Amino acid sequence: MRLGIIGLPQSGKTTIFNALTRGDQPVTTSGGRFEVHTGVVDVPDERIDILSRMFKPKKTIYAKVTYADIAGLEGGKSAISGPLLNQLSQMDGFVHVVRCFEDASVPHPAGSVNPARDVATMDSELLLNDLIAAERRLEKLADERRKGGGREKGLIDRDIALFERFQETLSNDQPLRELEVSSEEEKSIAGFGLLTRKPMLVILNLGEGQQPPALEYSRPGVAVTPVQGRLEMDIAQLGPEDAELFKAEYGISELALGKVIHQSYDLLGLMSFFTVGPDEVRAWTVNRGASAVEAAGAIHSDLAKGFIRAEVVTYNDLVTLGGLAEARNKGKLRLEGKEYIVKDGEIVHIRFNL
Ligand SMILES: Nc1nc2c(ncn2[C@@H]2O[C@H](COP(=O)(O)OP(=O)(O)OP(=O)(O)O)[C@@H](O)[C@H]2O)c(=O)[nH]1
Ligand SMILES: [Mg+2]
């Protein structure tokens, strides 16, 4: 799963990226140049820590999220061009970094710090691009319908109706993530990478000790969270001991970054199930509502192909009872079939036969 970090120039994208990935990309200005850096981040999970202590495996593997620091968005109400748009459309969701910090030595491209305005600017930039994409698609569909010989007319008409709905929604300044579409329709737009369909996490990038601004912004599929970006980046770059000292000195009990990673994960509609054993304790990522056979497929396609049964135990039962054998003895290890809906935090063992 990949989240693209976007925002106006000099809003603190690379700073947030470094904080999330414990990276040290230089925070010099990209000058609006198109530039992408990616980093993979473990999703912190106390349950994995505890299972790992229980099973003492050779390897402990957390769920992962990839962040991409994408520079080059100007926020000038112009269409986003080629390679940049291509990058954006490949993301599963966005982290929008909004500058709140005041610093005279860092000029704001619009001349002043105004988070509400910047949120609106980025929203309309993404909207504009989807509007252009929808219009292009409608032209193509009209051509296809006129020429004939390809897909069935009924299918083309269905797509035309859908993209006309998109066009209308976007023209009313409404992002597409707020529109209900059927699973059929979902399939016919999967390849288009429409930007306003993607979930978004808005990060209010605060200066040290700054209070978050009041921002009236509540929309489906968007979460808003304040982060003291530079402070968190500085801490992320320290060793664990120094980081503790630093946090004590600044009176920080918990970093916002763990929360940001969790919010990203939730926003993308993901959850984790676990596998345990002496070799490996591991978190696997699936969509919420995934079935047992889909969970098997997340581990390996062979497990889905040869699926017989899933042995399932809840995290709480396993930890309380102290082991898989104990769980089995107490009848807490359930046998489930292909269609079983896996829950977040369940420990799943797939029985399969090829
Ligand atoms: N004072 C202060 N400066 C910050 C803060 N966060 C970021 N900066 C500074 O703002 C400048 C821009 O930060 P970057 O993280 O490079 O911003 P960016 O969005 O990646 O910039 P571009 O890639 O050039 O668009 C840097 O000089 C940072 O040190 C903060 O919380 N307080
Ligand atoms: Mg940058």
CA of 210 to the centre of ligand 2 (A): 22
pLDDT for the residue 184 = 85
Q: In whole angstroms, give the CA distance from residue 250 to residue 126.
A: 37
Q: Whose CA is nearest to atom 12 of ligand 1?
A: 10
Q: Whose CA is nearest to atom 4 of ligand 1?
A: 230
Of 292, 303, 308, the C-alpha closest to 347 is 292
Residue bearing tokens 């000058």: 31
Q: For 121-162, how does the pLDDT look when each residue is reduced to its tens digit (9 = 90+)? A: 999 999 999 999 999 999 999 999 898 877 888 889 999 999
pLDDT for the residue 79 = 65
CA of 67 to the centre of ligand 1 (A): 17
Q: For 87-110, how does the pLDDT look when each residue is reduced to its tens digit (9 = 90+)? A: 999 999 999 999 999 999 998 988
CA of 71 to the centre of ligand 1 (A): 12
- Ligand approaching nearest to the C-alpha of 37: 2
DSSP H helices, 22-148, are: 46-55, 82-89, 115-147
Mean pLDDT for the chain overall? 91
Q: Strands across the sheet with 35-42, in order?
A: 35-42, 64-71, 2-6, 93-99, 200-205, 222-227
Establish whether residue 23 lines the binding site of ligand 1, counting it when its CB lies within 6 angstroms of any ligand atom: no
Q: Is the pLDDT of residue 252 over 90?
A: no
Q: How confident is the model at residue 189 (pLDDT cuts 50, 70, 90)?
A: confident
Q: For 22-47, how does the pLDDT look when each residue is reduced to its tens digit (9 = 90+)? A: 877 888 776 777 888 999 999 999 99
Of 184, 218, 181, 216, the C-alpha closest to 197 is 181
Collapsing DSSP to helix, strand or coil, 328 comes out as: helix
Q: Is the pLDDT of residue 200 over 90?
A: yes
Establish whether residue 14 lines the binding site of ligand 1, counting it when its CB lies within 6 angstroms of any ligand atom: yes
Q: Looking at residues 49-54, what average pLDDT do you find? A: 96
Residue 207 CA: distances (Å) to CA of 6, 185, 204, 211, 233 = 19, 43, 10, 9, 12
Q: Domains, the chain, ranges and CATH?
A: 289-352 (3.10.20.30)
